[in-house]
Structure formats: structure tokens, C-alpha cells
Amino acid sequence: MAEQEMDALNEVTQNEYKYGFVTDIEMETIPKGLNEDVVRLISAKKEEPEFMLEFRLDAFRKWQAMDMPDWGHLNIPPIDFQEIIYFAAPKKQEKQSLDEVDPELLDTFNKLGIPLEEQKLLAGVAVDAVFDSVSVKTTFRESLAEKGIIFCSFSEAVKEYPDLIKKYLGKAVPNSDNYFAALNSAVFSDGSFVYIPKGVRCPMELSTYFRINAANTGQFERTLIVADENSYVSYLEGCTAPMRDENQLHAAIVEIITMDDAEVKYSTVQNWYPGDKNGKGGIYNFVTKRGLCKGRNSKISWTQVETGSAITWKYPSCLLVGDNSIGEFYSVAVTNNMQQADTGSKMIHIGKNTKSTIISKGISAGRSHNSYRGLVKVSKNAINSRNFTQCDSLLMGDQCGAHTWPYINVHNKSSIVEHEATTSKISDDQLFYCQQRGLDAEASIGLIVNGYAKEVLNKLPMEFAVEAQKLLAISLEGSVG
Amino acid sequence: MHNNIKYPILETLKEASKLDQSHDMWPGRDNAFHSFLSQGFPHKKLEKWRNTDLSEFLEKDYQYIPNTDPISESDINSIFHCEIHNFETYLFTLHNGAYVYKQSPITTLDNGVVIGSLRSAWESHNDLVKPYLNELTENMLNGMVSLNSALATAGLFVYVPDNVKVEKPVQLVNMINTDKNPFIQAKNLIVVGKNAELTFVQCDDSVNDQDSFMNVVSEFHLKEGAKLDHYKLQNKELSSVLINTSFFSLKKDSKLKTNTITLNGGNIRNETIVNLDGEGAEADIFGLYLADKTQHIDNQVLVRHNAANCYSNELFKGILDDEASAAFNGHILVQPEAQKTNAFQNNKNILLTDTAQVATKPFLEIYADDVKCSHGATVGQLDEDALFYLKQRGICDLNAKMLLMYAFAEDIIRHISIPSLHDSTSDMVSRRLKGELSACNQCVLHCNDQKPMEFDIDLSKI
């Protein structure tokens, strides 16, 4: 590799994490450690009804009987769950208007570029910001309410719409689904709840911004999106965390349920702190995301750009139960330095004529390992189902690894499942072509990588696409080996 | 020991291991048996065995057949003769796991090629056997391999000296014919010297429909510049179990072509481990499986790219009918030093019924950056457009489907480079697709019919 390219690569890979600041804000935390009392305390602090406490305790008991999954191609140092603080919140709560929000906090979100303030009206994005464990501000609530759309923090929803929560909570991700889902179900602090009523097309993008701030805390939020018949919503999620030397755990759950003819588009730009060059610090991102296409002709689409986190363990999935339902998964996962990612998607075809698409683009640089792990399962009754999967890996540097584990199980004769994957490095021809046209090595790489990821980036909403492209460029500056 | 302590065969095996150690055979078998005991029989909780369940078979009442010294040919002449037209081979037979010989258990050809019973060769040609035996066998791969290492002492040994081209293919017929329900171990060792060439045909066959359990491990050593053309032909009864594990080591610039053709297979598992140990080594790994009834065929292929500039290509195709099930698990591992690797992997399946099922996992694990690797997997049906095209031209639905299925399978068949074997396999596949071929009572190459198989199509009208 030409020296110039190496320099470019180094420059990119050495780019510092720019969201690594800490907000000095008065926090209310509970003592660290995890036991039934802590679960009860969290529930009590949130003034939850009895059914929620039971849900949590049930999950906690199941979690105690589970072992941490070890099948991922990941090297996860042992996690001491007793050393984690399970609840941290900014002290002043329940703000009615922006004026009442701690200016320090607003400042934080401004720094992050989160449209909490009116100026962001122009952006037309309704935001629910979750700071450590608690939702601090949800914008545009009133205007959404006019259309009957519910968009609020999870704790508010538990109080105000207990019936809806009771009906849908745990329907896509049962509280004993997996180790981290059970943990989340036991101790989750807050998150967002969205309900789109029948026939409503949500006029703006809804967005949650997650920020871990306090030290030694884990973040356990939970998002529940219910799209009733013939409705539509596009939902965005972003996340950042301060730079700290110790690892922090983020174990979230996202559940999506779509009824007949409904569609939900869920986009994530995940940029948790990835740790330093030597792999010190960073977030463990162990997330369970699952969509349940319950109704006929319903559709759930996951788009994710994963650039952060020390370790990523997540498999956004779709349960295609309704006939003719559609599941989509578009992903760009970038790992650099010592990052590890084991991510992919599961598409479970249960209804007739169900369709799914998986496009996964992995980019690994430095000494990182990036794995795609996916499952396409077509059950016996899912006749005429169709899946197309493409997962490509790009290797940058001779010390990184790229792995692909696709599982395909087909149980009927009328379905078609296709899988294809390639692994290669940026070809010298492509680089030469770009450089010949006057681009320097770095710009060439950026161009090629962006082109490589284009298929996925195109699926992102406009505001996100711009951010994601920048993020991709930052994550990879100079990453050609 | 895992939770399979209950299997009836286990006690017998323990006894057998004690008895067997007393034989003056190669060392390490005792350790292998301990390794087996610690691993147990493979079970569905193991990632690599999630699609193949042996428990149902292991609960049967098998009779363990210990490996014996070579036996004379006269005993089996009545049962077996291979009749592929013009298929001239050096033919060797394992009968219920025992090596069968004509004049002597070891044959030495004029060009120095040694072929014979592994058990006899250990004594008479120890200098040729010792450096290679068990060098490739990985006892920790699974319990079946370590069990084999512990108990199997009979099998075929082939040694091709440097620079020797073996003119005729060497054919090994592994046949089971007994009224007991046999539980058999066999081990083969094949060494191909520098720049030497060998064609090796391995046939697995069962004669009557007794429950049988066969566990075979083969080692193939390809030295620098060696060439091995390897065929596995499998035609087994519904109630048989065959676990076939092959280890290959390819040194610099050696070339391997291995072709696994499964026409009928009660319950077959083929595990192929190819180590590309020297620069410039090339491996083509092909497989075809046609299964119906409740047959189960599991192909596991692990290709380890341990050296730079190697090439590997896997293509496995399968047609599944009735309640048959198949699994394909391909794994390409590219080590950090294996730069400039080219590795391809492809698995295509056709499901003919709603009760057939397939699980496929083409897996890439890559630690080097200057590589070109790709994999693909499809599960689907016959192409509607192609079917329509053929039918439009006056070919009936059934024949059109046959033609398309044959064309699908031909992708593998055409890689058979022995003309007579190619023709008869091709014939058998078409027969098999028409449902005329079941596990036959003669050799695996069911070739008694003089008339070649034809589709009922007047080609002149197409």
C-alpha cells in the first residue's frame, strides 16, 4: 500500500470521538448492584402499576437462571452486573416547557446537534431525548396529539396508557427472550412509546436521542412502537456517550408491532463511544430489536449505520406473521481499532407470500472484527415466500477480520431464498482510477467506501443520511491498508 | 461424557477398546478413546451437529464388529462385482469393515505403488505408514472421529511414490452385507508423493436393508505438486447411517478435486476438512445429493487457507423430494498469512415438496485482507420460465422437469473426468431422477443394464 494511503488511513482511524464530553449535571442515582429490591426500587421510583412490577420481577427471575450468550464471534470481558448502577436521572424532572429544562442539559443536546429547541422546528423532527435513564424532553407532543399520535416517554405511557402498554409490551420481545432482553425487562428505566392510530400517516419523523452521561451506569431503555391499521411512521434513533476508561453497558430493547397495512421505518445511527485506539473503554452495545409484522400487508424496515461501541451484539429482526408482510434490513457496520461487532438480522417467515430483504455492508479496519450473523427461516406454511440476502465485507488493513455466518432454513417448496456475499479489499484498480482523476488517496477511499455503502445510506431519511455519510468518513478516514 | 451415556452400544465399545489395545497396533488409540469418552457421541446441541440427530439411530441395538485381519476374497465373490462398462480400476473391497484381498493383503505395483490393507501395511511397510498415519486426524473435531481413531484399524492404504502417475483409478468399495445390525469403523490412509498423480474412487454401498452404522475416517496427504482426483459415490439403504470424515492436506502447488455424489443415503454425513498448507495449492470440492423418502444428507466442508496464493472452490447442489432433509455447512477460514487467497463457496438446493427441508450455512471467517472470497446459497424451485419454454416445445411436464433437474445436477457431473464413470453416473442420476434407481443390490454403480438411460424425448423435434 502506498505510503500516502497509509497516512490517509492513519488519519482517519486516529480521528477522535467528538461526542466524548461529560455534562456536569446533578444526578440522582441509586446504589449500584442488582437484586429484587433494586428492581422493586426502580419500579417504585417510576410509580409504576402492579403489572409492570410483575413483568420486571418475572424477567429478573428468568434472567438469574440464564447464562450470558457466548456464541458470538466476540471477546467479551466478564461483566460484573453488581458493579453497575441501574438507575440514574437528572435531578429535576417533569419539565413542562424548554425553559424549565436544566440549561446544562439543553446545552448538551445542542452540542450534539439534537433538535430539541424551536430552531429545529424547521427540521420537522419530533424528538424524545433520553439522558442516562430518563426521558428529559419530548417535543411536538401536542401537534402530534391532534392527529391522535401518542409519542411520549415510556414512563409517562405506563401511567397514561396502561392498557396499551399492557397489551403490547413484550409481544415482540418476550421478557425471557435472551439474556440481555431479560436484564432489560427487569431494570429498564425509560424509553419512548409511540402509537399511531388507524389510518394515520405520521406527518413528521419521530426521533429518540440516547445519551449516556453518568459514570458506572448502564443504560437500559426500551422503545415500543405500535402502528395500527393502515398507518405509517418513520422513526430515528441516535446515540452518543462520553469517553470513559471503563466500559459501560447498554442493553436496550426495541419492539415494533404493525397491524394490517401498516408500515414502520426504523433508522439508527449508532455512535456510542467505541473506546480508544487500544480498546480501552467504550460501550458494550447489546441490543435486542425485533419487529412483529402482525397484520396482513404490513411492513417493517430496519436501517442501521453502526460506527460506535466497543462491542456490538445486535440482530434487528422481523417476524413476518401476517400474510404478504414485508421485512427489510439495511445495515452498514464499521469497525475500527479494537472494536468488535457481531450483527445481522433474522427474518422469520411465517405468513404466506412474505418477503424479506437483507443488505448488509461490513467494513473492518485496524484490528477490529466485524461479523455478519443472520438467519432466514421459512416455515412450512409460509408458502411463496421470498428472501434476498446480500452481505458484503470490505477489509482495510491486514490485522482485521471479517466473518459471515448466514443460516438458511427452508421448509417448503414454493419459497425462494437467495444469499450472496463477497469479501474483499478496496481494489487497487478502483483506487488508481480515482487518484488518476486527481483525488488524493483519502478522498478516493472515502468515495469508494461511500459508494460501497450507498445502497444502505440511500434508505436513511434525509437528515440522517447526511450525518451518516459524515460519520462514515470520520470513522474511516485513512483506513486503507 | 455428555448425556448420551444411555446408548446401548456404549458398553460394548468400552469393552472393545480394552480388548483392542492389546493388539500390536499403532499407538494413541487409548488416548483417542478417552477423547471420545469426554466428547461423547455428537448431539444436536453442538453447533456443527444441529441439523443431524444421531440419537434416534444410536438407540438401536447395533452389534459392534471389531476390525479383523484381512480376509480372503473367496468369501465375498458371490456378493459383489462392479460392472461399469470399460471402468478398469484397481479394485479393493472392505466387507463389513474387513479388508478383502486376492493374493496378498499388500500389492506392490511395478512403479512402486503400494496398495493394501492398512493393518498389514503397518507391519510390512511401517516406514511408509508411520510418518503419515493420524497426522491429519483431529480427534477433538468430534466424538465420531476420536471413536474411529480408537477402534478402527482396518481400511485401505495407498502409497504413490514421488513422480509416479497411477494409470488406472484405485477403487475402494466399502460394502456392508450381514444379517446382524453392524456398527463398523474403518480408516483409510492415502499418500500421494511429490508430483505424483492418483485417481481414487470410494464407493459406499449397503447390500441388504439391515440397520447399519458405519464410521469412516480417511486421511489424504498430497505432497508438493501432487494431484488427486477423488470421488465418493454413495448409495445407501434407508436404515443405514454413514459418517464419513475426510482430512486432506495439500502441500505446495498440489491439486485436489473431490467429488461427493450421494444418490441414496439413509442418513449420511460427509465431513470434509481441507487444509491448504502450501502456497499455490488448489482445491475443487464438489458435491451432489439427491434425497427422497426420509433420507438425510449432511455435508460439512471446512477449508482452511493456511498459506498464501491458494485457491478453493466449493459447489454443492441438491434436490430434495418427499420428506428428505439436507444440510450444508461450508466454512472457509482464511488465516492472516494466507494473503492473495481466492475462495468460493456455493450451495444450491431445489425443494420438490413442502415436507422436504434444507438448512444451509455458508460461513466465511477471514483474517487476511488481500483476499477474494465469495459465497452464495439458494433454495428454490425449478425455473418457471425454463419449464414453460420446454413445455411450449411439446415436452410433457414430467419430462421437462426431469430435463431441468438433470441440467441442475449436470453442473456437478461434468466435473467427473473419468469418461466411463462420468457416463454411468450421468445415467444413474437420470435414472435416479426418474425414480427408477433405489439403493441397488449390486455395487453402488448400478450398471447391469446394458441400455443407457434416455429421456422420452424426440430430440430431433426440439
Residue ranges of the domains in chain A? 22-439
Please give, rounded to a whole number of angstroms, the shortest distance from the CA of A253 to a CA of chain B: 27
The mean pLDDT of A42-46, rounded to a whole number, is 88
Inter-chain residue contact A421 with B362, CB threshold 8 Å: yes
Inter-chain residue contact A408 with B359, CB threshold 8 Å: yes
Q: Does A401 touch chain B (CB under 8 A)?
A: yes
Q: Does A428 touch chain B (CB under 8 A)?
A: no
Of residues A396 and A464, the one with the higher pLDDT is A396
Inter-chain residue contact A417 with B362, CB threshold 8 Å: no
Please give, rounded to a whole number of angstroms, the shortest distance from the CA of B329 to a CA of chain A: 9
Cα separation, B450 vs B438, in Å, equals 18
Question: B231 near B267, Cβ under 8 Å?
Answer: no
Cα separation, B223 vs B439, in Å, equals 36
Residues on chain B touching A405 (C-beta within 8 angstroms): 361, 363
**Can you give the pLDDT of all 462 residues of chain B as single tens digits?**
455 567 888 888 888 887 766 566 788 888 999 999 999 899 988 888 989 988 888 888 888 888 877 777 655 555 555 555 567 788 888 888 888 887 788 889 889 999 999 989 998 999 999 999 999 999 889 999 999 999 888 889 999 999 999 989 999 988 887 778 889 999 999 999 999 999 999 988 766 667 889 999 999 999 999 999 999 988 877 888 999 999 999 999 999 999 999 887 789 999 999 999 999 999 999 999 988 888 999 999 999 999 999 999 999 999 998 899 999 999 999 999 999 999 999 999 999 888 999 999 998 999 988 888 999 999 998 888 999 999 999 888 888 888 899 899 999 999 999 888 888 888 878 877 776 654 443 344 444 444 445 555 554 544
| Residue with grid cell 471479517, as numbered in its chain | A402
Averaged confidence pLDDT in chain A: 83
Could you give the angle at the alpha carbon of A42 between the alpha carbons of A38 and A44, nearest 5°? 110
Interface test with B, best of A67, A340, A423 (most B CBs within 10 A): A423
Q: Which amino acid is at B423?
A: D
**A428 to chain B: closest CA residue:** B370
Inter-chain residue contact B379 with A424, CB threshold 8 Å: no
| Residue with grid cell 493420524, as numbered in its chain | B134
Residues on chain A touching B371 (C-beta within 8 angstroms): 395, 423-425
Please give, rounded to a whole number of angstroms, the shortest distance from the CA of A423 to a CA of chain B: 5
pLDDT of residue B159: 96
**Per-residue DSSP letters for B394-440?**
T--HHHHHHHHHHHHHHHHHTT--SHHHHHHHHHHHHHHHTT---S-
Inter-chain residue contact A418 with B375, CB threshold 8 Å: no
Question: B314 near B303, Cβ under 8 Å?
Answer: yes
C-alpha cell at A27: 444526578
Inter-chain residue contact A400 with B369, CB threshold 8 Å: yes
| Ramachandran bin of B40, using left for φ above 0, alpha for ψ from -120 to 50, beta for the remaining angles | left
Cα separation, A56 vs A77, in Å, equals 26
pLDDT of residue A299: 96
C-alpha cell at A62: 428468568
Length of chain A counted residue by residue? 481
Please give, rounded to a whole number of angstroms, the shortest distance from the CA of B366 to a CA of chain A: 5
**Per-residue DSSP letters for B194-261?**
TT-EEEEEEEEEESS---EEEEEEEEEEE-TT-EEEEEEEEE--TTEEEEEEEEEEE-TT-EEEEEEE
Q: Does A410 touch chain B (CB under 8 A)?
A: yes
Distances (CA, A) of B100 to A258, A472, B201, B240, B242: 67, 66, 17, 22, 20
Q: Does B326 touch chain A (CB under 8 A)?
A: no
Question: A336 near A308, Cβ under 8 Å?
Answer: no
DSSP A85: B
CA A197, distance to chain mean position in Å, is: 24
Inter-chain residue contact A404 with B364, CB threshold 8 Å: yes
pLDDT of residue A2: 46
pLDDT of residue B305: 96
Inter-chain residue contact A406 with B361, CB threshold 8 Å: yes
**A415 to chain B: closest CA residue:** B380
Inter-chain residue contact A421 with B371, CB threshold 8 Å: no
Cα separation, B106 vs B119, in Å, equals 10
Of B336, B360, B374, the CB nearest to A408: B360
Pairing of strands A401-410, A317-320: unpaired
Enumerate the domain spans of chain B.
9-278, 389-462
A and B: number of Cβ contacts within 8 A? 114
Q: Does B353 touch chain A (CB under 8 A)?
A: yes
**A418 to chain B: closest CA residue:** B378
Please give, rounded to a whole number of angstroms, the shortest distance from the CA of A426 to a CA of chain B: 9
Inter-chain residue contact B351 with A410, CB threshold 8 Å: yes
What pLDDT, in 10s, does the model give residues A270-317?
Answer: 888 888 888 888 889 999 999 999 999 999 999 998 888 899 999 999
Of A411, A414, A419, the CB nearest to B381: A414
The residues pairing with A375 across neighbouring beta strands, listed in sequence order, are A346, A407
State the sign of the Cα–Cα–Cα–Cα dihedral B122, B127, B129, B134: positive
Residues on chain B touching A411 (C-beta within 8 angstroms): 354, 357
Please give, rounded to a whole number of angstroms, the shortest distance from the CA of B270 to a CA of chain A: 19
Residue A408: how many other CB atoms lie within 10 Å = 25
For residue A118, pLDDT over 60 is answered with: no
Distances (CA, A) of A457 to A210, A383, B337: 21, 32, 34
**A406 to chain B: closest CA residue:** B361
- Least Cα distance to A391 among A380, A378, A376, A379 occurs for A376
Inter-chain residue contact A406 with B362, CB threshold 8 Å: yes
C-alpha cell at B151: 477402534
Inter-chain residue contact B379 with A397, CB threshold 8 Å: no
What pLDDT, in 10s, does the model give residues A190-241?
Answer: 888 999 999 999 888 887 777 766 667 778 889 999 999 999 999 888 776 6
pLDDT band (50, 70, 90) for residue A59: very high
Q: Label each residue of A29-82 as H, E or C.
A: ECCCCCCHHHHHHHHHHCCCCHHHHHHHHHHHHHHHCCCCCCCCCCCCCCCCHH
DSSP A397: S
The mean pLDDT of A372-376, rounded to a whole number, is 94
Residues on chain B touching A481 (C-beta within 8 angstroms): 369
**b/e for B384-419, b at 16 or more Cβ within 10 A?**
eeebeebeeeebeeebbbbbbbbebbeebbebbebe
Q: Does B365 touch chain A (CB under 8 A)?
A: yes
**Per-residue DSSP letters for A342-389?**
EE--EEEE-STT-EEEEEEEEEEETT-EEEEEEEEEE-TT-TT-EEEE
- The CB-side HSE value for A402 (13 A sphere, CA atoms) comes to 31
Q: Does B383 touch chain A (CB under 8 A)?
A: no
